[in-house]
Structure 1
Amino acid sequence: YLVTHEWVRSSQDILWRRSKLGLRISQAEAERIDRAIEALAERTVALA
């Protein structure tokens, strides 16, 4: 939902701007979220 409807493009956007989860998430977890966002964004563009 965040990628397709609210145009989230990075983990920082989710973890800090839209919540304070960045206080609890490790760098490795943030990188994993970034990879997932990139994959979703690519899939969304491919469907358009």
Structure 2
Amino acid sequence: MKKERLITLSILVGIAFLLSVIEIVLDIESDFIGLATVMLIVYMFLDKD
């Protein structure tokens, strides 16, 4: 994996984590986590080389 891809991946993980924290703090029901997880999985699959 190239360095910039690793950075992008860590940013996506950070965003997903932040969204989960926000959901817990605000006690809201939303699809942010599911969406972020799907995006992360898709990105990882598309980025295999």
TM-score normalised per structure 2: 0.48
Could you say which structure has the greater relative contact order, defined with CA pairs below 8 angstroms and 6 or more residues apart? 1
Larger radius of gyration: 2
Indicate the structure with greater helix content.
Answer: 2
